[in-house]
Amino acid sequence: MAENKTQPTGVAVADFIAAVPDPVRRGDAERVCAMMARLSGEPARMWGPSIVGFGSYSYLCGKREETFLRIGFSPRAKELVLYLLPGYEGKEAQLAKLGKHRTGKSCLYIKRLADVDEAVLEELTADALAWMEAKYPKAA
């Protein structure tokens, strides 16, 4: 079984965000970064070349233990991607209030923060953190 390719790196998050070419996406990334840091209580850290993550958890993948970010985001060329587990099943009411977005299994895609209700986005992020804490409690 192959090892998870998305690992923490030593790249500075501020440098990564400063290099985002689109000024709107860069500003959105700065705001999402600040929100996730505040809600998680964790410092931002680069995971792979393009994901900003907050905290980590360990899980079993077959017989091997893997580590991955608790929550995170990536300012991609066309949209901002938020990585929030466990996904969006049962979140229909919140998503209906969020604004323009689309979802994947555990990804939330937003073109611009101006298109969504940031309070609802914070609720979804806080819910993901609560789920992570219940399923994968932080080590004391």
Euclidean distance between CA atoms 55 and 125, whole angstroms: 13
> What is the average pLDDT score of the chain?
93
Q: Where do runs of H (alpha helix) occur along 55-117?
A: 92-98
Q: Where are the beta strands (DSSP E) in the chain?
A: 44-47, 51-61, 64-75, 80-84, 102-103, 107-110
Euclidean distance between CA atoms 73 and 84, whole angstroms: 9
Q: Give the distance, in angstroms, between the CA of residue 45 and the centroid of all CA atoms in the same chain.
A: 11
The pTM (predicted TM-score) of the whole model is 0.92
Pick the CATH number of 13-134 from 3.40.640.10, 3.90.1150.200, 3.40.50.720, 1.10.10.10: 3.90.1150.200
Tell me the pLDDT tens digit for each residue of 67-126: 899 999 999 999 999 999 998 989 999 999 999 999 998 999 999 999 999 999 999 999
Question: In the chain, what are the domain boundaries?
Answer: 13-134
